Amino acid sequence: MKFLGKVTVTLKRGVFDPQGVTIKNALHNLSFREAEEVRTGKYFEVVIEAANSTEAEKKLSEMCDLLLVNPVIERHGCHVEPIEEMESAT
Amino acid sequence: MRFAVVVFPGSNCDHDCYHVLSKVLGLETVYVWHQETDVREADCVILPGGFSYGDYLRAGAIARFSPVMQAVWKFAEKGGLVLGICNGFQVLTESRLLPGALLPNLGGRFICQDVYLRVENTNTPFTNLFSQGEVIKIPIAHQEGNYFAQPQVIKKIQAEKQVTFRYCGPGGEMNAGTNPNGSLDAIAGIISERGNVLGLMPHPERASEEVLGSVGGKRVFQSVVKWLEEQKHGSR
């Protein structure tokens, strides 16, 4: 069975994000003064072949710990969804 | 005495390191390709600057899992000398051979310029020919050189004298204007707790010949030679 793993990675609090600051300044230039803070991040989609969603989640979590995320500076959220269901829904 | 210069796809300071080691200093030097599984019985391994694997994902993140890095890990575990320069420093932090991480520069820009460094610890295999507090001129060229670690880690590396080089002004003074990239505690280079793995953002191989403007970097390599010779003759 195929699953789609979705991973969102953001910088931890206290880790400076120069891209985020530059984007916030640009928003201010566009008069969006209400934009108080911008933090950038990364998004990954991983197609995973696994017997069930628990196994797919476990594999995705291992991928995050080993490669996708640097825990010194980043934190992440991830979940998986079956691909077949997604396709039938569309 | 043999030096190994690791070549990742995207390394671009490998030839500079090879040139300084073999031509300027006359040392036996070999290249080691990233797919190789040993470091060719080298006495010191250099991880050169560049953009290994295109800096994809995070600078140094993919290089960490290349076959040669497993060999470098084992080599370092046995006490072998490893010198990571620029991207090599990023590979060492991603590999957890050195603590912390290198974030994008505070100003958001790639910086390519000469800087001044203060030598903070001369009791290492890489800095024994410097004097404590000596200031050297040396170039940097990086986008992600902003050293970061959690406060407790910073405290620990300060206490253990692991900070080897700090950014400073020409007279050794330190202020906001002398820190080019926003590194915490103006850290430009750190050494492992055991003292055999050094990472630094500046490029000693680009400051090893008078014709290039300064020779402050040459003594990093010469220090390694001296240290290895002393090891061989059992005087340490």
* Average pLDDT score over residue span A11-38: 94
The pLDDT score that the predictor gives to residue B18 is: 98
Domain tally, chain A: 1
DSSP B209: B
Task: With cut-offs at 50, 70 and 90, classify the pLDDT of residue A28.
Answer: very high
Of the candidates B60, B138, B62, B63, the residue with the CA atom closest to the CA atom of residue B102: B60
The pLDDT score that the predictor gives to residue A14 is: 87
Where helices occur in B113-233 by DSSP H, the ranges are: 151-159, 218-232
* Cβ–Cβ contact A54 with B under 8 A: no
The partner residues of A47 in beta bridges, in order of sequence, read A4
Whether A56 and A12 have beta carbons less than 8 Å apart is answered as: no
Give the domain extent around A66: 2-89
Q: Is B44 annotated as catalytic? A: no
Residues in contact with B39: Cβ distance below 8 Å, sequence separation at least 6, in sequence order = B4, B6, B32, B45, B68, B71, B72, B75, B80
The pLDDT score that the predictor gives to residue B42 is: 98
The pLDDT score that the predictor gives to residue B47 is: 98
Indicate which CATH number applies to the domain containing A30: 3.30.1280.10
Residues in contact with A90: Cβ distance below 8 Å, sequence separation at least 6, in sequence order = none
Burial of B235 (0-12, 13-18, 19+ CB in 10 A): exposed
Task: With cut-offs at 50, 70 and 90, classify the pLDDT of residue A79.
Answer: very high
Residue percentage of chain A with pLDDT more than 90: 86
Task: With cut-offs at 50, 70 and 90, classify the pLDDT of residue A90.
Answer: low
Q: How far apart are CA B50 and CA B172, in angstroms?
A: 28
Of the candidates A74, A43, A47, A73, the residue with the CA atom closest to the CA atom of residue A60: A47
Look up residue B54 and give its two tokens: 């295109």
Q: At residue A84, does pLDDT exceed 80? A: no
Query: What tens-digit pLDDT sequence spans chain B (236 residues)?
Result: 999 999 999 999 999 999 999 999 999 999 999 999 999 999 999 999 999 999 999 999 999 999 999 999 999 999 999 999 999 999 999 999 999 999 999 988 999 999 999 999 999 999 999 999 999 999 999 999 999 999 999 999 999 999 999 999 999 999 989 999 999 999 999 999 999 999 999 999 999 999 999 999 999 999 999 999 999 887 55
* Cβ–Cβ contact A18 with B under 8 A: yes
The pLDDT score that the predictor gives to residue B98 is: 98
Interface list for B 160-219 with A (CB within 8 A): 182
> Tell me, what's the ipTM?
0.83
Closest-CA residue of chain B to A41 = B57
Class for the domain spanning B2-232: alpha beta
Candidate from B58, B93, B148 with C-beta closest to A15 = B148
Measured distance between the N- and C-terminal CA atoms of chain A, rounded to whole angstroms:
18
Domain range list for chain B: 2-232
Q: pLDDT, tens digit, for every residue of A4-15? A: 999 999 999 989
To test the contact with chain B by mutation, choose from A9, A15, A19, A72 the residue with the greatest count of B C-beta atoms within 10 A, namely A72
Least Cα separation, residue A61 to chain B (angstroms): 17
